Each structure stands twice: as structure tokens, then as C-alpha cells.
């Protein structure tokens, strides 16, 4: 089923008492042995009955690209849960993109998340690439298939954009190219997400935006994410990190509570979708969906 139809059939609590669209994100295990045993993770995630599960691929379109499609197909065809495969374009030419589109369709996948992807750090000539932006990938996908296409949104603006309005302009371009809904990058201050939604509405963007929530697992994890995507840390979260930096269990407990409060507030304010970055841990997803009430 196309996820765009899921959004059409689901409304927020503010409208008719129905829950928002709930989704999880996971990644293909890198090691072959771990990938073969991924069923336990899928059992845990799918038993929670999300509306869909998205599957990431390696940074810069790395070695896990084929496993992304394989895992997305397994989620849908073996576990009966709708899936969405991530697709990056920074390292691909048009022939490679079309081949990947066909591979996804052959695997029974109906939904993809179109991303530019991270620029490889070594031995990469940016001037040689075919696609510089995600909207170009959206256009190719829609021109060569009937796949439902999602794209990324950035609550605090894309880290490479010189202004927040420029990030919103790119959302508009992505929508014009055929994007049917957006999945937000992680954020820790709900005001940033509400501002994104307000700005998008003012720019005339109609596609729903689902809110991406990730609990912090460690100080190093959060530091990496901040530098990768430009997310800011509210003072409350900084205090949690300081207090529990050397107590992993307490840090996880406090961060889950914090993320849960984010989710509860988003739902109460009528946000149309909640996207939980599960980090392949069903117990995290299970804990956070308790807050969707």
C-alpha cells in the first residue's frame, strides 16, 4: 500500500479521535550473520503494528544499498508490515537510479524515501556527480515509476543552507517534483517542528510532515548527530547528559522519558505523523509508542 494513502485515511486526534500515522526507522545490519538473524528485530518492531517501517541505506549510498531493498521487501512480504526503502543519489548516475527503481518495484516495494545522501569523505569528485539535490531524484523516480515518494524535512533548516527560508523553498521544490509526504530530521525542541510546519503552510506546502523522534543513547551519539544535521540541544537535555553521562541505564531512562514527552505534546497538538528512530531496538519503539495517547 502506498503510504500517501495511509496519510489520507488517518487524521490527528484533533480532528476525529484517530491516532496519527506511526512509523519506525531501522537500518540493515552490516555483518552478514547479523543480517541473517534480523528476524528477531523485525518480529519485535512489526508486533507493535506501526503503519510502516523505513529502512536506511549506507552513508553516501554505501555497501548496504542492496540490503536496504532486501530488508524492506522482507518487512512487507514476510512480516505483513508496509515498508519504505531509502534511496540516495549522490553517487549514482541516471542508469543506476533507474536500475534501483526497478529493483525496488520487482521486490514489491511501493514506497521510497528520496535523499541526496551524505557526500563521501574521500576520493570523491563532487563536480562529477549527476544529481546534486534530492528533488532531482524525486523527479527521476516519478518519471519512471508509480512509486510513492517521500523526502526529508529539516526542523532547524538543512545544515548546508544559509537560511531557514531557503530550506523551506527546497521543500516546495521537492513537493513540486512529486514528493507526497515528508519525514523530518530528528529534533529535540518541539517548537522547531511547529515552526517548520507553520513555515511550510505559509509557503503553500500541502504534503504532510511526520515528526522524527530519536532518544539519546550516549553523549557521543548526540554529538555526532548534532554535527551531522545541525540539531540544537535544549538546556534540559544538556543537563540530562551532564547528570547521567557515566550512567548508561539512567541516561537511557531519562532520554526515553524526554522523547516520550515530545511525542505526547506533538500528538496533543495534532501532528499528523510520528516517526521513531528505533536504532534496531524494538524495546525503544515499544516504550515510546506508549506516549501516543
CATH of residue 231 = 3.20.20.220
Question: Which residues constitute the domain of residue 259?
Answer: 3-291
User: φ and ψ at 13, to 5 degrees?
Assistant: -60, -35
Spatial neighbors of 216 by CB under 8 A, at least 6 apart, are 222, 237, 240, 241, 251, 255
**Rounded CA gap, 188 and 186, in Å?**
7
| Cα angle value 224/291/68 (rounded, 5°) | 50
pLDDT digits (tens), the chain, 293 positions:
999 999 998 754 444 456 799 999 999 988 876 777 899 999 999 999 999 999 998 544 445 667 999 999 999 999 999 999 999 998 899 999 999 999 999 999 999 999 998 877 777 767 778 888 999 999 999 999 999 999 999 999 988 888 999 999 999 999 999 999 999 999 999 999 999 999 999 999 999 999 999 998 887 887 777 777 788 899 999 999 999 989 999 999 999 999 999 999 999 999 999 999 999 999 999 999 999 97
Give how many domains the chain has, as a whole number: 1
Q: Whole-prediction pTM value?
A: 0.93
Give the count of beta carbons closer than 10 Å to the beta carbon of residue 268: 12
Give the count of beta carbons closer than 10 Å to the beta carbon of residue 95: 9
**Rounded CA gap, 252 and 76, in Å?**
30
**pLDDT tens, position by position, 225-276:** 777 778 889 999 999 999 998 999 999 999 999 999 999 999 999 999 999 9
Amino acid at each position: 500500500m502506498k503510504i500517501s494513502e495511509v496519510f489520507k485515511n488517518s487524521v490527528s486526534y484533533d480532528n476525529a479521535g484517530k491516532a496519527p500515522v506511526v512509523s519506525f526507522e531501522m537500518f540493515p545490519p552490516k555483518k552478514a550473520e547479523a543480517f541473517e538473524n534480523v528476524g528477531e528485530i523485525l518480529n519485535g518492531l512489526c508486533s507493535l503494528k506501526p503503519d510502516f517501517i523505513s529502512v536506511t541505506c549506507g552513508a553516501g549510498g554505501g555497501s548496504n544499498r542492496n540490503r536496504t531493498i532486501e530488508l524492506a521487501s522482507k518487512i512487507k512480504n514476510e512480516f505483513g508490515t508496509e515498508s519504505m526503502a531509502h534511496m540516495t543519489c549522490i553517487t549514482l548516475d541516471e542508469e543506476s537510479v533507474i536500475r534501483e527503481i526497478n529493483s525496488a518495484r520487482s521486490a514489491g516495494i511501493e514506497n521510497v524515501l528520496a535523499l541526496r545522501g551524505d557526500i563521501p569523505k574521500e576520493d570523491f569528485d563532487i563536480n562529477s556527480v549527476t544529481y546534486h539535490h534530492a528533488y532531482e531524484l524525486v523527479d527521476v523516480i516519478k518519471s519512471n515509476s508509480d512509486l510513492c515518494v517521500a523526502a526529508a524535512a529539516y526542523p532547524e533548516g538543512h545544515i548546508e543552507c544559509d537560511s531557514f527560508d531557503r530550506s523551506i523553498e527546497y521543500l516546495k521544490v521537492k513537493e513540486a517534483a512529486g514528493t507526497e509526504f515528508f519525514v523530518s530530521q530528528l529534533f529535540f525542541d518541539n517548537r522547531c517542528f511547529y515552526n517548520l510546519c507553520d513555515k511550510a503552510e505559509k509557503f503553500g506546502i500541502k504534503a504532510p510532515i511526520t515528526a522524527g523522534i530519536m532518544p539519546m543513547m550516549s553523549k557521543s551519539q548526540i554529538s555526532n548527530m548534532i554535527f551531522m544535521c545541525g540539531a540544537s540541544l535544549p538546556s534540559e537535555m544538556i543537563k540530562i547528559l551532564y547528570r547521567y553521562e557515566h550512567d548508561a541505564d539512567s541516561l537511557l531512562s531519562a532520554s526515553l522519558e524526554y522523547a516520550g514527552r515530545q511525542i505526547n505534546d506533538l500528538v496533543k497538538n495534532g501532528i499528523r505523523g510520528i516517526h521513531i528512530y528505533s536504532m534496531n531496538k524494538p524495546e525503544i519503539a515499544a516504550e515510546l509508542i506508549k506516549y501516543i495517547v
